[in-house]
Structure 1
Amino acid sequence: QIYDKLVFSKVRDALGGRVRHAISGGSAMERRLGLFFSGAGVTIYEGYGLTETTAAATANPPEQTRFGTVGQPVPGTTVHIAEDGEIWLSGGQIFQGYLNNPRATSEVLGDGWLATGDIGALDEEGYLTITGRKKEILVTSGGKSVSPSGLEDRVRSHPLIAQCVAVGNNRPFIAALVTLDPDAVGHWLTMRGKPRLPDEELVHDPDLETEIRRAVVAANTLVSQAESIRTFRILAAQFSEERGLLTPSLKLKRKAIEKAFPEEIEALYRG
């Protein structure tokens, strides 16, 4: 009742006061967010689909929501997990091919299956969980394949962190570049009586580094040592769409980020 009065009621008011159900179908929604809104009395039904599947291919059914998953196949859809973890879909709503582009069509369609390019897993009741993108898999110099999105999401859940991008292709281990949330950092400095320094100096604050390290350590508990983030670098600059580092839907452009910060990445592996 205390939480409802202090927090949840304000969330409902911000949404208009009468919202009880909502649908999420963009970027993956973390389980903790689904649980938070459920506690506020708003059930969010997460689904999954592509333009090539004519919208939804899976969705969480009413009264049977599993937060952290994108639900079960909608009627008429079949989901298959390939040997490499890629999600394949089939059904009457799957597109017939790309216009005047047979090569692109052959790359994603085969024997009635659409290769989505997404990596995922099915549980015992057919609920699908998205774990990453096939093209974003990092392969270390030791041959370890790592899907970075789960690690990045966990690190980014820390209030002080705006974005996190893992690197490590053809490198001996996984590392990360981290950007800060200006508003959260400003509050953090005020609470500790610290002066507001230029961003280039602030990123070297030892107390701030300790806070970010805690977030990285917490994220590493989800994976094996070979998949963990061994070191990180806090950046003074932000990833933004204007700089060509984020898509219009605020997804990371990994190759562009790696190209924009070559010295910082090299420093992570020096010595």
Structure 2
Amino acid sequence: MTDQLPLERLALWVEKRPDAVWLSQPVNGQWHDFTWAQVDEQARRMASALQALGCAPGERVALLAKNCAEWFIADLAIMLAGLVSVPLYPLQSAESIDYVLRHSQCKAIFVGKLDEPDKLAPGIPAEVMRIAMPYPTMAAQYTWAELLAAHQPLHEVHRQSAEQLLSILYTSGTTGQPKGVMLSAGAFAYAGSQSVREMQITEQDQYFSYLPLSHAAERFLVEMNALYSGGRVAFVESLETFASDLRHVRPTVFFSVPRLWTRFQQGVLEKLPQAKLSRLLRIPLIGKLVARKIRKGLGLDRARILVSGAAAIPRALLEWYQSIGITICEGYGMTEHLAYGCFNRPGQVRFGTVGKPMPGNELRIADNGEILLRCPSLMLGYYLDPEKTAETITDGWLHTGDKGEVDAEGYLKITGRVKDIFKTSKGKYIAPAPIEGEIAKNLWVEQVCLMGSNLDQPLALIELSPAAREQSQEQVTADLAQTLQQLNAKLEAHERLSHFVVVREAWTVDNGCMTPTMKIRRNVLEARFADQLGELDARQPLHWQ
């Protein structure tokens, strides 16, 4: 039997559980619930409005908002009207928004919760109709409430087909312009249905949505998994209420990224220093009580599936969470196959790997070490870029650009990027990822970027964690110097680091050092620090910029 397509799955829950709550949205500290029937009605009214505004089947409609119930409803409305969704990152620059909207030829855009809407508004061309979600946002020609009130629910909804283009997801791009990944309704159906079946996720499960829904991982792991499992989704209201919202929701399925897992850890250690925590955890009964209290304080005491993705997570961090009774399952995926790739299943976790391929996925390693994937959720191609599509997919195999190894039991280990490998002035090649992983074990390190192209020896740029900024510079310097010494003792001669360079400016999306999916833009950092790095004193291996 073929998997139900997203709209068929929605219809199933509306028929089976119309009065069950699906979405919960906090507004000014008050929680508002949406049942399956209410979501369906609002989505049909908005679909009717989109058609009345002149959006014809196959045309593109963008979404620019932080996560909220209306994001899901707008996405479903776009599907019901036979349109194609184009999600945008809430942290995207106005220039990038302008590029994506023009490149995808969007007819309309939903705008919602945003931190600085006035900065983003110039990125929306005048000819693109704006529909404002019911939150403070930028000026728009149409409002959510007005459109819902003015239109009856669409009766004859679009009939999806597996081959139909459902969404264009633009990659954030560590270099160059974003690429539009075209994903079919069948890709969404396959990823959602197979995932909930494999992970045994049901309507009893609870999700917490806060990572950008414009990212393939959140769209698949939260929106699609909730649609296919029938599980409830609660949204975060704001950054300020994040911790209290998480404690209120107590999700059973929770997805985060390494940088945020690090922040959660630092929050615990600020209240309970590591030395004291380690002592308490060693005491049999008290250790269990302390660990349970920490889990409850985080809001993760009910979580049974905890996921980390989007970037590599240090093994030391995984082991720290394990010590408090939280097993993080690291996974691996790309936008080009809707993030449905490899995963460490609960109870079968192997630290240092990203798990085994999910059902239906084929994995092989090319002669140059590149990871190749072939799966039913693979993209249709890059929008308006057949040349790049042909470069990326050969004989149905996706060239990921990542390097990896598969062990005897089928677990995949990521060893770096094919193009990240750089050559020093001595002609020696260096893979940065494993070395960066070792440096990241130091608790004072928030982020690290190895550089060395055309230098005699590589060096590491380091952004300090918030906890480090509260320590004395002497203490942090001593700890980092020890890490550098211990690391160099393990490395080959050509890999040994000449310096740790501690940078003052944080790496953010706004200053161009990070992509909206929180990946470091190595080329930007290399360009930014190139002049300074040639003048470092060889006698001082630790340099504060």
Contact 2:425 2:454 in 1 (8 A): yes
* Counterpart in the other structure of 1:22: 306
- Which of 366, 384, 391 matches 1:100? 384
Q: TM-score when scaled to structure 2?
A: 0.43
Q: Report SS of the residue matched to 2:306.
A: strand
- Which of 477, 481, 491 matches 1:213? 481
Distance 1:153 1:103 in 2: 34
* Counterpart in the other structure of 2:328: 44
Q: Report SS of the residue matched to 1:41.
A: coil
1:250 paired to 2:518:
yes
Return 5+ residue gaps in structure 1 as ranges. Answer: 190-201
Distance 2:386 2:515 in 1: 27
Q: Report SS of the residue matched to 2:341.
A: strand
Matched ranges for 1:187-198 at <5 A: 188-189=471-472
Distance 2:418 2:508 in 1: 23
Distance 1:35 1:91 in 2: 31
1:75 paired to 2:343:
no
Matched ranges for 1:108-127 at <5 A: 108-127=392-411
Q: Number of paired residues?
A: 255
1:177-217 Cα shifts (integer Å, max 9, x gaps): 2232343232x32xxxxxxxxxxxx5xx5x64332121223
One-letter identity of the residue aligned with 2:516 = P
One-letter identity of the residue aligned with 1:179 = E
State the shift of 1:26 in Å.
2.1
Check 1:3–1:214 CA distance in 2 against 1; reply closer, same or farther (3 A cut): farther
Q: Report SS of the residue matched to 1:246.
A: coil
Distance 2:469 2:462 in 1: 13
Check 1:3–1:128 CA distance in 2 against 1; reply closer, same or farther (3 A cut): same
1:11-35 Cα shifts (integer Å, max 9, x gaps): 3431242223212232222223333
Check 1:9–1:182 CA distance in 2 against 1; reply closer, same or farther (3 A cut): closer
One-letter identity of the residue aligned with 1:120 = G
List 4+ stretches of structure 1 deviating above 4 A: none
One-letter identity of the residue aligned with 1:104 = K
Distance 2:463 2:312 in 1: 20
State the shift of 1:103 in Å.
0.8
* Counterpart in the other structure of 1:156: 440
Check 1:211–1:32 CA distance in 2 against 1; reply closer, same or farther (3 A cut): closer
Contact 1:141 1:171 in 2 (8 A): yes
Aligned-pair RMSD on alpha carbons?
Answer: 2.4
Distance 1:138 1:262 in 2: 15
- Which of 489, 494, 513 matches 1:226? 494
Q: Report SS of the residue matched to 1:118.
A: strand
* Counterpart in the other structure of 1:236: 504
Q: TM-score when scaled to structure 1?
A: 0.83
One-letter identity of the residue aligned with 1:103 = E
Distance 1:182 1:63 in 2: 33
Moved more, 143-152 or 78-87: 143-152
State the shift of 1:219 in Å.
3.4
Return 5+ residue gaps in structure 2 as ranges. Answer: 1-283, 540-545
Moved more, 29-38 or 56-65: 29-38
Q: Report SS of the residue matched to 1:4.
A: helix
* Counterpart in the other structure of 1:168: 452
Q: Report SS of the residue matched to 1:153.
A: helix
Distance 1:185 1:20 in 2: 34
Check 1:160–1:42 CA distance in 2 against 1; reply closer, same or farther (3 A cut): closer
State the shift of 1:87 in Å.
0.6
One-letter identity of the residue aligned with 2:341 = A
Higher helix share: 2
- Which of 321, 340, 347 matches 1:56? 340
* Counterpart in the other structure of 2:534: 266
State the shift of 1:74 in Å.
1.6
Contact 1:8 1:39 in 2 (8 A): no
1:90 paired to 2:346:
no
Check 1:173–1:249 CA distance in 2 against 1; reply closer, same or farther (3 A cut): same
Contact 2:448 2:463 in 1 (8 A): yes
Distance 1:70 1:182 in 2: 28
